[in-house]
Amino acid sequence: MCGIVAYLGDKEAQPLLLEGLRRLEYRGYDSSGLAVLNGKGLEMVKKVGRIEQLERALGPNPLHGSLGICHTRWATHGKATEVNAHPHTDASGKLAIVHNGVIENYGTLKKKLIEKGFQFRTETDTEVLAFLIGFYFDTLNSETENRLEMAVMEALREVTGTYGLVAIHQDQPDVMVGARRGSPLVLGIGPHEHFLASDVAAIAAHTQTVAHLRDFDVVTVDRQGYRLKSLTHNAPDESGLEISQIDYQAADAEMGDFPHFMLKEIFEQTLSIQNAVRGRLNLEECTAQLGGLNLSPQELRDIDRIVITGCGTAMHAGIVGEYIIESLAHVPVEVEWASEFRLRNSPLDRRTLVLVVSQSGETEDTLGALREARRKGHRVLGICNNVASSLARETDGGVYMYAGPEISVASTKAFTSPTIIFVLLGLLLGRMRFLSASQGLQIIQAIEALPDQITQVLKQSGHINQIAEKYSYSRSMLFFGRQMQYGIALEGALKMKEISYIHAEGHPTAELKHGVIALVDENTPSVFLCPKDGAYDKNINNLQQIKARKGPVIAIATEGDEEILQQADDVIYIPDAPEYTAPILSAVALQLFAYHMAVILGRDVDKPRNLAKSVTVP
């Protein structure tokens, strides 16, 4: 959630750091700060609010220096105030750190430091860490060559919790030390310069050569280069860091001609769906090929239950996936919130496949679920977008989304990509069980038709905008869907509430009469997902129950359905598609609906209040 960027090289640090921060702002943004080291000592500026506030403060008085650290914060411990913003300094004011993660035993450490006479200025766990590192720094002889590195390592040995951090110290003005446990940190290697960042997006414009730190790695960067140590042993780490070239064009993270990243990403779904499918269809055998699963045909055949887990939008994709896989492959599927799964003793057996879904691959609860399943000896596969994430490293295999960077806090591509991957998985498992070749071929044809069909939905953006305008008075909305559209009702409601702040609830359609109908009145619109499928008549029946109570209805229906025009107040048509690909089309329509509503209401679409892109705290 929070973002870190650090620089040591032959250029001015401030412009590079601010540019990196802007690229990370989507991760969290209630305050930010920047510190540099130069001949004059440690200089630092912190501001509450957006990066613009920090830029404005630095504008007339830039901080000069070629070594610096900066941070965007999303408050966990302590309010969003200037004093709680990062960087945090130690008691001497000469050491500064930026930190992502949570120091779980900070209370105990703080007490110990208070007993030694230290006085704290903030409520944060990060300040305690800064004081602890500073304390060890000051106990070391000033001639000690690796003084900052040693102090960081001593302090981290006492810490329980998670961190991605970078430390600098005025008395070692050409050194920065980075460390990782549980919170990502990547080293960027350029000619005469190095970066440390929590996300490659921050540095991709400057170098494509990166190394991802592993848990317990400590990297010390100076003007000669970098060296690696591990907290599990003090000596230089012989195994070294694995250096790779990233395939990440900084331009992918630009908005281009779109007014918001969310709209750009909604429109990118014609492409992201193709990327998720490319090379994965086997026309000859009428099946899918998912080599990354690392499972033999026999092992695939042996799977008799699948548990899908994730958070938020990823979890909603899992709910759609449950219906898809059960329908195409007849393999029982259960979906669980990762935050619940990780804490309970979920009964899994030898033939259960655990599937974790995550865009970022860094969501704390999803990683917790992954680790819990692996601890119990289960094979865990991932559906993930970030190929350099902890999830990608820790799973036994899986399927990448290849959706490209998703910058907007509200997930769009990372909903439709796993959904189509579930269709591929359903096809693969189904063809190993009872689906015929001709049924397999029909599914392939439906998959191949999707990009054009998504384009058809996107063309209705103007019409959807008008509908949003009409209902922008709403304080509350209801979303209803049945079967494969049930997950879309949940996701449509989530999109609406998170970016427009209109209260929204998603429900299985028939549940309406078991309580929800009490909420229906003339000011509470219902979004009804009722494509032409086996449940159509039942849906119309439920729709009429809403109309009978004067509730306005916006229907998502299949092109050519004239009857719906008599029933609903407004209609958004999606192209005719089988029940397993139709959810992708209705999801795109509801993403546009939420997007336009948020714009009409003047909300900050890409950076909704209180939310962060990647939730790396429990």
Cβ distance to ligand F6R smaller for residue 210 or 615: 615
User: Which of the following is catalytic: 2, 286, 384, 530?
Assistant: 2
The stretch near ligand F6R (CB under 6 A) out of 33-41, 106-114, 244-252, 358-366 is 358-366
Residue indicated by tokens 């960067």: 221
Give the dihedral of Cα atoms 80, 85, 88, 91; nearest 10 deg.
Answer: -50
In 473-498, which positions are buried (b, 16+ CB within 10 angstroms) versus exposed (e)?
ebeebbbbbbbbbbbbbbbbbbbbbb
**360 is an interface residue for ligand F6R by CB under 6 A:** yes
Say if residue 87 is preceded by a cis peptide, omega within 30 of 0: yes
Q: Measured from the CB atom, is 90 or 498 closer to ligand F6R?
A: 498
The continuous run of DSSP H or E covering 88 comes out as: strand 88-89
Give least dist CB 365 to ligand F6R, A: 8
Closest to ligand F6R by CB, 328 vs 597, is: 597
User: Measured from the CB of residue 387, what is the shortest distance to ligand F6R in angstroms?
Assistant: 13
Structure-block tokens of residue 472 = 């922008």
Length of the chain equals: 618
Give every strand in the sheet of 305-310, ordered side by side: 333-337, 305-310, 352-358, 380-384, 397-400
Instruction: Assess 309 for contact with ligand F6R (CB under 6 A).
Output: no
Judged by CB under 6 A, the chain residues 69 through 88 that form the site for ligand F6R are none
Taking the C-alpha atoms of residue 540 and residue 555, their distance in angstroms, rounded to an integer, is 10
Asked if 358 touches ligand F6R (CB under 6 A), the answer is yes
Q: Look up residue 518 and give its DSSP letter.
A: G
Binding residue for ligand F6R, selected from 31, 66, 363, 586, defined by CB under 6 A: 363
CA gap 115, 230 in Å, rounded: 30
* Pairwise CA distance, residues 394 & 185, whole Å: 16
Q: Is residue 366 part of the contact set for ligand F6R (CB under 6 A)?
A: yes
Contact segment (CB under 6 A) with ligand F6R among 207-215, 289-297, 304-312, 374-382 equals: 304-312
The Cα–Cα gap between 300 and 397 comes to: 13
**DSSP category for residue 552:** -
Question: Tokens at residue 120, please?
Answer: 């704290």
Q: Contacting ligand F6R (CB under 6 A), which of 122, 359, 395, 416?
A: 359
Question: Residue 197 CB, nearest distance to ligand F6R (Å)?
Answer: 18
Within 39-169, residue ranges assigned H as helices are 51-58, 106-115, 125-139, 147-157
Residue whose entry in the numeric block shows the structure tokens 């990118």: 268
Smallest separation, CB 401 to ligand F6R (Å): 10
Distance between CA atoms of 400 and 360, rounded to whole angstroms?
11
Q: Which is nearer to ligand F6R, 9 or 310 (CB)?
A: 310
Stretch that binds ligand F6R, among 27-35, 68-76, 355-363, 449-457 (CB under 6 A): 355-363
At closest approach, how far in Å is the CB of 407 from ligand F6R? Answer: 11
Nearest CB to ligand F6R, comparing residues 484 and 490? 490
Nearer to ligand F6R, 72 or 363 (CB): 363
Q: Is 269 in the site for ligand F6R (CB under 6 A)?
A: no
Considering the rule CB under 6 A, would residue 615 count as an interface residue with ligand F6R?
Answer: yes
Among 410, 446, 488, 490, binds ligand F6R (CB under 6 A): 410
Residue 310: which residues within 8 A CB-CB, separation 6 or more?
Answer: 317, 318, 338, 356, 357, 358, 363, 366
311 is an interface residue for ligand F6R by CB under 6 A: yes
Structure tokens at 332: 């029982």
Contacts with ligand F6R by CB under 6 A: the residue count is 17
CB 173, CB 37: distance < 8 Å: yes
**CB of residue 386 vs ligand F6R: minimum separation in angstroms?**
8
Between 189 and 490, CB nearer to ligand F6R: 490
Rule CB under 6 A: is residue 606 a binding residue for ligand F6R? no
Beta sheet of 503-508, edge-to-edge order: 503-508, 476-481, 526-529, 553-558, 570-574
Q: Which residues are 167's β-sheet partners? A: 97, 177
For residues 262 and 412, is the Cβ–Cβ distance under 8 A? yes
Cα–Cα dist 535/589, whole Å: 20
The C-alpha atoms of residue 525 and residue 409 are separated, in whole angstroms, by 25
Residue pointed to by tokens 């613009």? 52
411 binding ligand F6R? (CB under 6 A): yes
Identify which range of 37-45, 312-320, 446-454, 465-473 contacts ligand F6R by CB under 6 A: 312-320
CB of 575 to ligand F6R, least distance (A): 24
Q: Is 229 a catalytic residue?
A: no
Closest to ligand F6R by CB, 63 vs 612, is 612
614: contact with ligand F6R by CB under 6 A: yes
Of 28, 134, 312, 575, the residue at the interface with ligand F6R (CB under 6 A) is 312
- Minimum separation from the CB atom of position 608 to ligand F6R (A): 9
> Does residue number 390 form part of the binding site for ligand F6R (CB under 6 A)?
no
Largest CA distance in the chain: 84
> Which residue, 126 or 366, has its beta carbon nearer to ligand F6R?
366
CA-based end-to-end distance of the chain:
12
- Name the residue among 26, 1, 21 with its Cα closest to residue 195: 21
Rg (CA), the chain: 26
User: Per rule CB under 6 A, is residue 414 in the interface with ligand F6R?
Assistant: yes
- Nearest approach, Cβ of residue 610 and ligand F6R (Å): 12
Give the residue at shortest CB distance from ligand F6R. 312
d(C-alpha 229, C-alpha 553), whole Å: 61
| Residue 334 contacts residue 306 (beta carbons within 8 Å) | yes
Q: Is 493 in the site for ligand F6R (CB under 6 A)?
A: no
**Closest CB to ligand F6R among 54 and 615?**
615
Stretch that binds ligand F6R, among 231-239, 308-316, 326-334, 591-599 (CB under 6 A): 308-316
Q: Using the rule CB under 6 A, is 500 a contact of ligand F6R?
A: no
For ligand F6R, which residue of 36, 187, 218, 314 counts as binding (CB under 6 A)? 314
What is the H or E stretch that residue 217 is in? strand 217-222
Residue closer to ligand F6R by CB (options 285, 340) is: 340
Phi, psi at residue 458, to the nearest 5°? -60, -30
Which of the stretches 133-141, 407-415, 444-452, 598-606 binds ligand F6R when contact is defined by CB under 6 A? Answer: 407-415
Which of 25, 90, 498, 606 binds ligand F6R (CB under 6 A)? It is 498
The CA-atom distances, in angstroms, between 74 and each of 86, 100, 162, 415, 495 are 10, 10, 16, 24, 21
Stretch that binds ligand F6R, among 180-188, 250-258, 310-318, 451-459 (CB under 6 A): 310-318
Binding region for ligand F6R (CB under 6 A): 310-314, 358-360, 363, 366, 410-411, 414, 494, 498, 614-615
Supply the residues annotated as catalytic: 2, 613
